Each structure stands twice: as C-alpha cells, then as structure tokens.
C-alpha cells in the first residue's frame, strides 16, 4: 500500500513555503482570552466563560497598528492552556459563544488582516486544562478533539493561515502527541501553513520535561537533534536565536532546514496577557529590542512582538507608541493611511 502521509522532506536549503515565511520576517503576537479577565498569565480552565466580557473586539485597531509598524503578519492566540476558545467551536462549551462577548475573534482578526494586507497565523495550545478527555482518554478521544478543532481553524472559513504555533506539550512524552498525524492533517488542509512546536531542539525525545540548557537557541550547533518533529521552524520563547544561527538539524538520521521565530514581550517581566498590573510594568529598552530584531533579520529569521489587548478589547496606547519607536529604529514604519 502506498504511504499517503505528507512528510517534510530532508534538505539543506529552505523550501518554497519556508522562504515565504522568512520573507514575512516581522509580525505581531496577540495574547487575549479569559486570562485577560482573570489577571493571570496561566489559568486551569476554572475561570467561568462569562468572565470573558470585552466591551468590544477592536481587531481593526490591532491589525492597523501592526500594519503601520511595518509588520507583515500576526499570530493570534486562539486557545491557551486554559482551553478557552476565541472562536465559535462546536467541540467545547468553554468558548466565546457562552461568554460575555460572543464575537468570533478569529473571524474579526481574519477580516482585519484581509483589509490591511497582512497574513494570519494562529497559536493553538496542545495542552487543554479544561477538557476532561485530556486526562481520561488522551490517545483516543483527546487527539480526535484536537483534530476536530484544527479543522475548524484551518478548513478555509478564516482564509489562508500561514503559520500554526503549537505550544504546551510539556507534561507528556514527545511520542504521545502523534505530531506526524497532526502535521499531515494540517498540511492536507493548508499546505503552505508553516508549523512550529515550542522547544523544538533537544535530546529529550521520549520523556516529559524541558531539554537541557545545552540546547537553548543561543547554544545550538549545526546538526543538533530535533526534539519536537515534524515542524517547519523552531520556537523557544522567550529566547533569541544564536548569532550566527545554524539552520540545519537532524532527526532520525536525516538533515532538515529550519529557521527560527523569536518572540518578544513589549514589557519587562515576561508578561503575555494584559492584567490589572500590566501598565505598571516597565517597557523593554527600545535600542536593545531593535538590535535583537536586526540580529534575527540578518540571520534570516522571524520576530514577533507581543501586544496584548486589554479588557476593553483594544491595544494599550502606550504599547502602540513603544512599538512605533521600535519600528522607527528598524526603519519599517509605514504611512498612517487606512486601506479600504
């Protein structure tokens, strides 16, 4: 019988879709959800859906800001580890349709991206702390549950999805996740979608836990083994890439080319979601951030800067001002005109 699985081909040069991703290079990360209203970075699925009640979803402001800063794509958190979904999924009640604001955030962002000509990427947590099947029947019903939700996100209703961020695979062995199955399934729906799994380099193939520090991005060496695979690019937030950054890694005696996407929080303290103390946190130094971005771009890597919407569903103006200072330093800032 012919093997019909979609595989990532070994090679020492980027493929067509990797080249497109590397050319996008600069994007915005958007962390928003029930955690925003619980004043926490992580939650366990116990915050009631009705607590999520933004006054509006001003996706136009979010994406217009990214456009004006010279960004070419956004990555939206669709579901964090708590399991709360920002779209109208039919596979769990823990989502916006049962919340204090029923707007489909993924659709709002998708439409705004089309308006401003930006590409859309999605973050999806593999770990779901609200879903009983995660604990009760992981290898059966839970993997089916993930596949069903990824179908909703990638079947075309939200348009082209250029990037899929998979995160939260920390408390199970690498082999449990059946990444080959998920990779194949996503590629059948959207072949150009670039898939990344957080913490993709390291030797801890079959046990839970973090890889050793030897495999932090800054210490990576050409030929290092891949831990989470298949994937199209490397992730290890909040670390930056090595300089120079090796692109060739190994898995099962094959060599693969993988660029790196660096994640940056706007403020000190490693804070992704907005909270009632967020605006009291100091900003990252603009010059230092600009230098890190330049290093990443010179190494043909990508950078996403996180700006979290607040409880009104809008970006904080001081975050926007800070981002524009970074954009001015990079020389990426676009004009203020609005696309119709």
Query: 173 pLDDT band (50/70/90 cuts)?
Result: confident
Segment 149-160 shows an average pLDDT of 98
In-domain check, residue 27: yes
Total domains in the chain come to 1
Three-state DSSP class for residue 194: strand
Q: Encoding tokens for residue 303?
A: 């950078």
Q: What is the pLDDT of residue 82?
A: 97
Q: Is residue 58 situated within a structural domain?
A: yes
Is it the case that residue 6 has pLDDT exceeding 70? yes
Separation of alpha carbons 219 and 201, rounded Å: 11
Q: Which of 118-132, 165-179, 195-209 has the highest mean pLDDT?
A: 118-132
The verdict on residue 100 lying in a domain is yes
Domain of residue 42: give its range.
16-330
Reported as a single tens digit per residue, the pLDDT across 239-294 is: 899 889 999 999 999 999 999 999 999 998 878 999 999 999 999 999 999 999 99
In a domain, 137, yes or no: yes
266 within some domain: yes
Nearest to 125 by CA among 105, 110, 145: 145
CA 74 – CA 27 distance, rounded (Å): 5
Compute the distance between CA of residue 117 and CA of residue 168 in angstroms, rounded to an integer.
30
For residues 217-236, give the mean pLDDT.
93
Q: Mean pLDDT in the chain?
A: 93
Which of 98-112, 146-160, 220-234 shows the lowest mean pLDDT across its residues? 220-234
Kind of pairing, strands 248-251 and 254-257? Answer: antiparallel
**Inside any domain, residue 37:** yes
Lowest mean pLDDT among 85-99, 167-181, 252-266: 167-181
pLDDT at 269: 82
**Among candidate residues 181, 257, 195, the one with its CA nearest the CA of residue 226:** 257
CA angle, 181 then 184 then 185, to 5°: 85
Buried b (16+ CB within 10 A) or exposed e, 219-250: ebeeebbbbbbbbbbbbbbeebbbeebbbbbe
pTM listed for this prediction: 0.95
Pull the structure tokens for residue 81: 């580890």
Return the CATH number at 150: 3.20.20.80
Residue 21: how many CB atoms within 10 A of its CB? 26
Predicted local confidence at residue 213, as pLDDT: 81
Res 339: pLDDT: 41
Q: Above pLDDT 90, what percent of the chain?
A: 84
Residue-wise pLDDT for 180-216, tens only, equals 999 999 999 999 999 999 988 887 666 666 667 888 9
DSSP string across 234-288: EE-TTPPPPSS---EEEETTEEEE--EEEEEESBTTT--S--TTGGGSPBPPHHH
pLDDT over 50 (residue 338): no
Token reading at 331: 């020389």
Residue 6 resides in a domain: no
Q: What is the pLDDT of residue 340?
A: 37
Query: Confidence band (pLDDT; 50, 70, 90) for 238?
Result: confident
pLDDT digit string, tens, across residues 7-31: 789 999 999 999 999 999 999 999 9
Within a domain: residue 213?
yes
């Amino acid at each position: 019988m012919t093997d019909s699985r979609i595989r990532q081909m070994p090679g020492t040069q980027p493929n067509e879709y990797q080249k497109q991703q590397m050319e996008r290079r600069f994007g915005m990360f958007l962390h928003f959800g029930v955690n925003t209203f619980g004043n926490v970075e992580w939650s366990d699925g116990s915050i009631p859906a009705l607590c999520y009640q933004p006054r509006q979803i001003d996706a136009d402001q979010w994406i217009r800001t990214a456009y004006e800063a010279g960004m070419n794509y956004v990555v939206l958190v669709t579901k964090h580890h708590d399991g709360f979904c920002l779209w109208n999924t039919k596979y769990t009640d823990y989502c916006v349709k049962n919340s204090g604001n029923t707007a489909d955030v993924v659709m709002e962002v998708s439409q705004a991206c089309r308006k401003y000509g930006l590409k859309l990427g999605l973050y999806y947590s593999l770990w779901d702390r609200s879903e009983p099947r995660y604990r009760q029947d992981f290898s059966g019903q839970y993997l089916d549950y993930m596949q069903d939700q990824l179908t909703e996100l990638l079947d075309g209703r939200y348009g082209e999805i250029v990037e899929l961020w998979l995160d939260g695979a920390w408390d199970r062995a690498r082999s449990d996740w059946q990444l080959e199955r998920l990779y194949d399934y996503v590629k059948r729906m959207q072949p150009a979608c670039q898939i990344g799994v957080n913490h993709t380099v390291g030797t801890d193939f079959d046990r839970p836990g973090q890889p050793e520090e030897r495999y932090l991005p800054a210490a990576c060496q050409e030929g290092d083994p891949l831990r989470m695979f298949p994937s199209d690019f490397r992730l290890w937030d909040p670390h930056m890439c090595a300089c120079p950054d090796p692109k060739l890694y190994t898995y099962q005696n094959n060599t693969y080319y993988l660029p790196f996407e660096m994640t940056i929080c706007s403020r000190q303290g490693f804070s992704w979601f907005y909270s009632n103390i967020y605006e009291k946190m100091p900003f990252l130094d603009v010059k230092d951030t600009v230098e890190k971005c330049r290093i990443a771009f010179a190494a043909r890597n990508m950078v996403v800067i996180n700006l979290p919407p607040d409880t009104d569903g809008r970006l904080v103006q001081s975050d926007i001002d800070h981002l524009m200072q970074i954009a001015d330093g990079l020389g990426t800032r676009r004009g203020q005109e609005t696309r119709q």
